[in-house]
Structure 1
């Protein structure tokens, strides 16, 4: 459940609006619309997803009233959401990241890296999952798995392979040395510190959830 100090009652409005967006129902936690709303409300995607499950159950009187009032009156709901956003200053997406610390926070996973604006930590986490499924000799751009992942992430296969080469420098089992350290090393090392010691199945589950963000269906909604 979202932290009650973070959650505000009027947040149910945009959450219901998103729930009612086709396909109607609970949206994956890391689908692009959910992430954008999470950034807007400053509620982590997984917690926002829990709130959507609560919304779907309609167990409280207040949520039942919300459904009764807006479920079949989406124009009115849209107006209420717009009013809420204007009052709270949410209509400025460029401000999502303002004031966000470069320290490890969930918001920065969706923020472009300073050293490479085509990549975010989210990309790196998903690439790390594939890293553990390959051997160093197969971490090259013409490997089918790398091509497939690059297509999903809208990256060139060479870029994915380059990231994997950097992860090799982070891997204590390889003990690789580099005469020239990549600009991506710091970001890759941070991701390795967070996810590199997890059980492979745990990282695989996280990666599967995160891939929803890049699926083209969400770009069209």
Structure 2
């Protein structure tokens, strides 16, 4: 669901918001909701925090730096040693393999474009492919490679040649999430993800 953004709040999937989400292990949607609450001063506690820090950015920065310095305080790493962590939204923004910069969220953007093209136009020379590659700081051929992997997931194309590797496995996971959903659901999510690449 896309929420209306109050003035002054970064988009839900801006790089700064995603980086903070990864640091805190709190999903971008939850952070965005909290920021909306802060913008609207929805609770007495938020009002108090605003009174203390709202007009004093340097004081806020000092408090944030102090909290960041306390990370790992009291041997937290040793305390959690051996504990298995299960990532959820974090995987969306991390590379699909060690040898690539492609992330699942990039695959979502490419899948959205995939549904707007025909197989014959899924080539590096296509302006839409070039624009998407430029936005994500990829080579057009990398976008084409992902589209080819999606062709192996597409039941309408019924490709007989087999494709293996991390890329096709990651594309299959994204296809399972969005391949049969309503087109506007994928388009809306992809539109929000574009904020990550805007500075």
For this structure pair, what is the TM-score category when the shorter chain's length is used for normalisation? 0.7 to 0.9
Q: Pick from 176, 185, 188: which aligns with 2:171?
A: 188
For the pair 1:80 / 2:63, whether they are aligned, the reply is yes
Q: Pick from 59, 75, 100: which aligns with 1:117?
A: 100
For the pair 1:133 / 2:116, whether they are aligned, the reply is yes
Instruction: State how far apart, in whole Å, the 1-side matches of 2:185 and 2:177 are.
Output: 12
For the pair 1:173 / 2:149, whether they are aligned, the reply is no
1:178 to partner: Cα distance: 1.6
Which stretches in structure 1 are left out of the alignment for 5+ residues? 1-23, 91-97
Q: Provide, for residues 79-117 of structure 1, a one-character-per-residue CA deviation record: whole Å limited to 9, x for no partner.
A: 111111122349xxxxxxx96547xx2101111121642
Instruction: State how far apart, in whole Å, the 2-side matches of 1:144 and 1:160 are.
Output: 12
1:194 to partner: Cα distance: 1.1
How many residue pairs align between the two structures?
184
SS at 2:70 equivalent:
helix
Q: Kindly indicate whether the alpha-carbon contact (under 8 Å) linking 2:124 and 2:140 is maintained by their aligned counterparts in 1.
A: yes
For the pair 1:45 / 2:43, whether they are aligned, the reply is no
Which stretches in structure 2 are left out of the alignment for 5+ residues? 1-6, 74-82
Q: Pick from 130, 155, 159: which aligns with 2:142?
A: 159
Q: Provide, for residues 144-187 of structure 1, a one-character-per-residue CA deviation record: whole Å limited to 9, x for no partner.
A: 10000000000000110110011000001111122443541101
The normalised TM-score by structure 1 is 0.78
For the pair 1:33 / 2:36, whether they are aligned, the reply is no
Give the root-mean-square deviation of aligned CA atoms: 1.9
Instruction: State how far apart, in whole Å, the 2-side matches of 1:203 and 1:188 are.
Output: 14
For the pair 1:207 / 2:158, whether they are aligned, the reply is no
